[in-house]
Amino acid sequence: MSTAEERADEEVSEHEAVPLAKMLAIGTVLSLIGVFLVLLIDWFPAQASTAAPGVDTLYDVLLIVSIPIFLLVMTVVVYSVMKFRARGPGDMRDGAPIHGNARLEVIWVTIPLVIVSLLAVYGWIVLDDQEETKANTMVVKVEGQQFAWHFQYPQPGGAKPVRSDDLVLPVDRPVKFEIRAADVLHSFFIPAFRLKSDAVPGITTSFRATPNKEGDYDIVCAELCGIGHSTMRQTVSVVPEAKFSSWLAEQGKAGGEAAEGATGNSDEAESDARGAP
Ligand SMILES: [Cu+2]
């Protein structure tokens, strides 16, 4: 039998015997194993805010949806690479000419559209939940600067805001972070709270969080902001309300004198003016 005849035989069998059911079965088994394995992995640090459980569940759902899609696609890719590979250096055959397949196109547009739409709605609900306005919210102003975070606690009755380079928060009290940047883009990220927002020069961004577990957690800058970016790490301490109050009073006393000398009042007047309306 000549090589040409052999090839002709192969071509016929290629068209007849695409083992769709077998690939689906392999893809499904791999998906079950894959989902089981990724859910075993502990992806996150401690949960230290009320937003954390919702974000973690969302992440698990994203994994459960995307792992099977990835593995089913890879099953077809691996099958195609092996089945339709060139047989030897002289093999220059083309695949069969195919002119569209309306049913297939409708399927591959509709299914992804439905999946991403549902995930978008779910993500929006989780985000909306976090951004809900809560009574007794405390505002903390955050300023990113190469390469450190600075914090301000506005005080009632037009009193001087308390400035600090440490972030201390009372447990179970809702906080609204108002975030600004002094120089370039930064991103204010507290992994244990599962919340992050860019700090953008010229505008104030914000997010809300309710820390619900006492302890010390990392604050990191999540936007490459210059040579010292990786050192732009601080700590947030979540403490009991009474401890927070005494800390704040202490900072108020100590910070009062330092703020006058070092930073002057012009910057403060500006931020007060912005906060007024
Ligand atoms: Cu930064």
State yes or no: pLDDT of 115 exceeds 90: yes
Q: Which H or E element spans position 213?
A: none
In the structure encoding, which two tokens stand for residue 162, read together?
């308390």
Alpha helices in 131-219 (DSSP H): none
CA of 224 to the centre of ligand 1 (A): 6
CA of 165 to the centre of ligand 1 (A): 15
Most confident of 12-16, 114-118, 129-133, 162-166: 114-118
Among 13, 32, 35, 16, CA closest to 24: 32
CA of 21 to the centre of ligand 1 (A): 51
Query: Per residue in 243-256, is it b (16+ CB within 10 Å) or e — as a string?
Result: ebeebbeebbeebe
CA of 27 to the centre of ligand 1 (A): 42
**Residue-level pLDDT at 265:** 40
Per-residue pLDDT band at 16 (split at 50, 70, 90): low
Report the predicted TM-score, pTM, of the whole model to 2 decimal places: 0.76
CA of 201 to the centre of ligand 1 (A): 12
Query: Per residue in 98-118, is it b (16+ CB within 10 Å) or e — as a string?
Result: eeeeeeeeeeeeeeeeeeeee
CA of 188 to the centre of ligand 1 (A): 8
Query: What residues contact 64, with CB distance under 8 A and at least 6 apart?
Result: 35, 39
| CA-angle at 254, arms to 274 and 167, nearest 5° | 60
CA of 194 to the centre of ligand 1 (A): 18
CA of 230 to the centre of ligand 1 (A): 8
CB atoms within 10 A of CB 36: 10
CA of 184 to the centre of ligand 1 (A): 8
- Boundaries of CATH 2.60.40.420 in the chain? 138-275
**Residue-level pLDDT at 8:** 47
**Residue-level pLDDT at 98:** 82
CA of 180 to the centre of ligand 1 (A): 11
Homologous superfamily (CATH) of 138-275 is Cupredoxins -  blue copper proteins (2.60.40.420)
**Residue-level pLDDT at 277:** 36
Q: Which residues sit opposite 236 in a β-bridge?
A: 167, 217
**Tens-place pLDDT, residues 157-188:** 878 889 999 999 999 999 999 999 999 999 99
Question: What is the phi/psi pair of residue 199, to 5°?
Answer: -105, 115
What would the mean pLDDT of 106-120 be, rounded to a whole number? 94
Strand order in the sheet with 186-190: 167-170, 233-239, 215-221, 186-190, 195-199
State yes or no: pLDDT of 12 exceeds 80: no
In the structure encoding, which two tokens stand for residue 259, read together?
């703020």
CA of 204 to the centre of ligand 1 (A): 15
Per-residue pLDDT band at 23 (split at 50, 70, 90): confident
**Residue-level pLDDT at 84:** 85
**Tens-place pLDDT, residues 38-94:** 889 888 999 999 999 999 999 999 999 999 999 988 988 998 898 888 888 888 888
CA of 223 to the centre of ligand 1 (A): 6
| CA-angle at 21, arms to 18 and 24, nearest 5° | 105
Ion ligand 1 contact residues with beta carbon within 5 A: 186, 221, 225, 232
**Residue-level pLDDT at 255:** 60
| CA-angle at 247, arms to 245 and 249, nearest 5° | 70
CA of 111 to the centre of ligand 1 (A): 40
**Residue-level pLDDT at 209:** 93
CA of 183 to the centre of ligand 1 (A): 9
CA of 227 to the centre of ligand 1 (A): 10
**Tens-place pLDDT, residues 228-267:** 999 999 999 999 999 999 999 888 777 654 444 344 343 4
In the structure encoding, which two tokens stand for residue 196, read together?
């992050």
Distance in angstroms (rounded) separating the CA atoms of residues 152 and 167: 9
Distance in angstroms (rounded) separating the CA atoms of residues 255 and 178: 20
What would the mean pLDDT of 106-135 be, rounded to a whole number? 93
State yes or no: pLDDT of 10 exceeds 80: no
**Residue-level pLDDT at 157:** 82
CA of 229 to the centre of ligand 1 (A): 5
| CA-angle at 67, arms to 30 and 31, nearest 5° | 20
